[in-house]
Amino acid sequence: MNECSLYKNKLALDAEHELDESDKLAIANHIKSCQSCAAKISDVQIIRNQLRNITKIKTTSDFETVLRARIQMSKNIGQDPLTILYKKYRLPALGFAIATIVATIAILHPLNMPSILQQSGVPTDLTFKNIEPLDIQAGGMVYTMDIIRLPEIELEARKSHSTNENRGEPAETKENPLIITSYHSALKADALDKHQPRRQVNESHHPVSF
Amino acid sequence: MTDPQGVDYDSMADEDLIERFQQGDLYAFDLIVKRYKDQLLNFVFRFLGNQEQSEDVLQETFLRVYRNRHAYRRVAKFSTWIYTIAGNLARTELRKKKRRRLFSISDMGIDNKDYEVSDEKFNPEAHVDTLLHTDVIQSEIDRLSPKFREVIILRDIQELPYDDISKILRVPIGTVKSRVNRARLRLQISLRKKLDLKQTGKQG
């Protein structure tokens, strides 16, 4: 059995006459006493014969005529002005398209957005730096909410407020919609989230009564 | 054949023919087509299982040889080069065929040849047997995965050396041998059953 494992990988090659003389002789001696290995060699020979004798097909009679026509056609296509233009400018056009896509992505990349917004006059510092607690008393309960102060946004709001005053118009409390959205959504989100009192009134806070 | 200038084309190696073709000798290209069309067709046909598609692939193969003749360098055998082109195109065609089958209800894995009237009855009995065996063998080859299919066709039907197959497929010789053995084993198992059944059916 151990001897069989020595020849395991060479049996098929023996059937294909791909072995050198020494291996060939060794296998010939081995299969005299090993029917299993002899059968394996025979199996390979049988399958090879079956495959070798498979019906061969031929190309159709007009194969070469069709080929010549296709070659001629491809030559004509190559001389077509559109094809010449395409061949000449396809690489620059591809390069331009890639550059445009890369530039668009670079300009609209989230990292660049603050500077774009700044140029458009939109406040950009949207990080909630100053979060202050506000306690509200209602129905005998005390609700604590987080009020978010956005200094830059407030500044913008004040600017628009003073501009209106200088024109002699009645001072409107024209707020930047972004403040309201941020402020209200913060309130809403927090209020909705806290149906239960979160903590007791803190001395340092300023309670608001309704 | 010898031309008026005394060039003996018939005894020329493929590499000499392509070299002449590279220098503008179109007759050399015609000879290359004549030498390779049938053996390449059999390679592609056994891979795809459809003659019409195989001839299309073969046309494209020769067209690429024609267009890219200057890409051939004499460091490689011409046969390896042209088999590589044909093999790549056949694999692409096989992938397209699979996609078409996936989306086409009418196809459903049945080949047109299933509906063609077989001409077996017009042939002698021995030929009928060969055709019968060929059909069974082809259907079993079709069941093999492409990587097993191509090695078994190149080795046992086309009878190419392992070294050439390794270069055509760009895989190590050891891998080629191992794939050939595994493909043979699969075919042995399935063919033993099927051919025995056919034989039994015929006798009954």
What is the DSSP code string of A48-70?
HHHHHTSPP----TTHHHHHHHH
Q: Decide if A162 contacts A191 (C-beta within 8 A).
A: no
A208 φ/ψ angles, rounded to the nearest 5 degrees: -115, 130
Q: Cβ distance B36 to A64 under 8 Å? A: no
Pairing mode, if any, of strands A208-209 and A141-149?
Answer: unpaired
Sign of CA dihedral B21, B24, B25, B29: positive
Q: ipTM greater than 0.85, yes or no?
A: no
Of A47, A48, A70, the CB nearest to B63: A70
Three-state DSSP class for residue A130: strand
Q: Report the distance separating Cα A54 and Cα B129, nearest Å.
A: 11
pLDDT tens figures, B107-128 = 444 444 444 444 444 455 555 6
**Taking a contact as any Cβ pair under 8 Å apart, which residues of chain B between 135 and 154 contact chain A?**
137-138, 152
Does the pLDDT of residue A179 top 60, yes or no?
Answer: no
Chain A residues near residue B37 by CB distance under 8 angstroms: 59, 63-64
Helix, coil or strand: residue A16: coil
CA geometry: angle B53, B57, B60, nearest 5 deg: 140
Interchain proximity A59–B41, CB inside 8 Å? yes
Q: Which of A69-73, A197-201, B29-33, B169-173 has the lowest mean pLDDT?
A: A197-201
- Report pTM: 0.61
Relative to beta strand A208-209, strand A130-138 is parallel
Has residue A121 got a pLDDT over 80? no
Q: How far apart are CA B92 and CA B82, in angstroms?
A: 16
> Which residues does chain B have with pLDDT short of 70?
1-5, 102-131, 196-204
- Measured distance CA(A54)–CA(A147) in Å, rounded: 85
Nearest chain A alpha carbon to B36: A59
pLDDT band at A178 (very low <50, low <70, confident <90, very high): very low
Q: Which residues of A touch B63 (CB under 8 A)?
A: 67, 70-71, 74
| A156-167 pLDDT, tens digit each | 555 665 555 555
Asked whether the beta carbons of A174 and A159 are under 8 A apart, the reply is: no
User: Quick one: pLDDT at residue A189?
Assistant: 43
